[in-house]
Chains A and B, each alone.
Chain A
Amino acid sequence: MYLSNYKSRLLRYCLCGLAVIVSASALQAEDDFLSEEELYGDFEDTPASVNDPLESINRVTFKFNDFMYMNVVKHVANGYQKVTPNSVERGVSNFFNNLSYPVRLVGNLLQGRMKGAWVETERFAVNTTLGVVGVWPAADRFERMQPIPSEDMGQAFGAWGIVEGPYLVLPLLGPSNVRDLFGYVGDRAVNPLKKPYSVIEDSKVQTAFGVTEFVTKSPTLMRIYTQMKEGAVDPYSSMKNGYSQKRRSMIEE
């Protein structure tokens, strides 16, 4: 008798459970789908459009840059990659990345990111000494010195609330906006390799550094550029939107 009571109770619980499942599914099925408007209209998570009052001029500059990238930079990048072993490529890239420490330091300090400033300083010190002037990323071996997202003055201005301003396409430099252009000028001022406050007095050596840095960065530049361009219905719009989204995301993080 005890067993049959237990079985009937178990049966009742199972039937109740089934009823709950069926009614929960039914309720969810009725109400919980995205509507056409929600799916295909404008969403709150859609980023604001890009301000581009100089579009006609920007498009001309874009075409010029496209010609230069596809006919000059691309060949420079291919040639560089062909003759340079991967390890050397990485080492040279690390060297120049290490030297742009002052830009990242200032970018962090201007945003009050003291921890970020400290990490960048530790990384610079360790990479310069143990890493042989930054060629080898020795700091990566230490847990507390792991790479952090790069900061610059343009991001600092964005963090202060300064608006982007009109979108710009700069000759050879590519996509930017008014705020980031000012940031770029500021970054050059604190970069020890670049004018106007370069620590290198000899202009020929300065130029040599500049050209070498450009060549080492050209493969990455071409990779990003061709990725944005490939499959784009309008490469200009694709670049404009991609650049703006990326910069907004960097400022928000």
Chain B
Amino acid sequence: MKFLSKIAYLALFALAAVLPAQANESAKLAATMEAALDVVYLDDYQDYTSDQRQAAVRQILEGSYDLEVIIRRAMARNWNLLSKEEQTQIRDLIDRLIVKSFVEGIEGKARPMVACGAVVEVTSKRMEIPVVISFPGGKTYNVLYRFGRLRTGWQIYDIVAEDISIVSNYRQQFDDHFRKQSGAQLIEKLEKLLLQEEKEEGIDVSIKL
């Protein structure tokens, strides 16, 4: 009995060291999303221009997660077809597009409620966090965040929104692009996309360029 109680104590210590680590990731994701929403909705940021809001959101996202993971995963083997310079440019452009889509997707709407569920451990190196995003009008979206364990910590490697994997979707687009076109042409497309969206907003693009 004495021996068993010793083992029990040891097991408890070991478990206590491991268990909270993954649970913290759900709280971290929730906190990151709330911080990003704060930039769009809180009075403190009322005087921010759209560019400043996007820069602030980008800082928050990059402070919590390495966005290069999800970008490289979407590019898959096409990433190696790019030069280092092209990789840096593409990474920056896609970062800006992701942030822009996020900010513009919710600007003008009421603040959504974000409910992060419990972590689902897929393997010891992969986990998922289900999130329900509810808008006051009654519309809800089910989003699943997929995480991989890297040396830099748990990083998002895919987002599945309404059964559609964002990484798979962009991978299809990049695969189709690289069948006939180059990295330089992809950069042109991304810049055009960013420019097109800015023109639609009426932002003075000349200062940016």
Task: Among A18, A41, A42, A231, find the residue whose CB has the most chain B CB atoms closer than 10 A.
Answer: A231
Residues of the A chain whose Cβ atoms lie less than 8 Å from the Cβ of B76: 40-42
Cβ–Cβ contact B169 & A238, under 8 A: yes
Enumerate B63-91 residues with CB–CB distance to A below 8 Å.
69, 72-73, 76-77, 79
Cα–Cα, bound, A46→B169 (Å) = 10
Cβ–Cβ contact B125 & A24, under 8 A: no
Chain A interface residues toward B at CB < 8 A: 13-14, 16-18, 20-21, 24-25, 28, 32-34, 38-42, 46-47, 49-50, 230-234, 236-238, 240-242, 245-246, 249-250
Cβ–Cβ contact A24 & B17, under 8 A: yes
A24, A33, A231, A237: which contacts B14 (Cβ < 8 A)? A24
Q: Name the residue of chain B whose CB is nearest to the CB of A235.
A: B173
Cβ–Cβ contact A238 & B125, under 8 A: no
With A21-B13, A40-B79: A233-B168 Cβ-Cβ less than 8 Å: no
Q: Is there a chain A Cβ closer than 8 Å to B176's Cβ?
A: yes
Residues of the A chain whose Cβ atoms lie less than 8 Å from the Cβ of B193: 231, 233
Chain B interface residues toward A at CB < 8 A: 6, 9-10, 12-14, 17-18, 69, 72-73, 76-77, 79, 97-98, 100-101, 124-126, 148-151, 157, 162-165, 168-177, 186, 189-190, 193, 197
A18, A230, A245: which contacts B168 (Cβ < 8 A)? A245
Cβ–Cβ contact A34 & B97, under 8 A: no
Cα–Cα, bound, A240→B164 (Å) = 12
From residue A40, how far is it (CB to closest CB) to chain B in Å? 5
Task: Among B6, B173, B189, B190, find the residue whose CB has the most chain A CB atoms closer than 10 A.
Answer: B173
Cβ–Cβ contact B14 & A47, under 8 A: no
Residues of the A chain whose Cβ atoms lie less than 8 Å from the Cβ of B162: 246
From residue A145, how far is it (CB to closest CB) to chain B in Å? 19
Cβ–Cβ contact B125 & A50, under 8 A: no
Residues of the A chain whose Cβ atoms lie less than 8 Å from the Cβ of B174: 233
A25, A28, A237: which contacts B176 (Cβ < 8 A)? A237
Residues of the A chain whose Cβ atoms lie less than 8 Å from the Cβ of B148: 34, 38-39
Cβ–Cβ contact A34 & B172, under 8 A: no
Cβ–Cβ contact B168 & A238, under 8 A: no
Cα–Cα, bound, A242→B17 (Å) = 41
Cα–Cα, bound, A139→B67 (Å) = 44
From residue A60, how far is it (CB to closest CB) to chain B in Å? 16
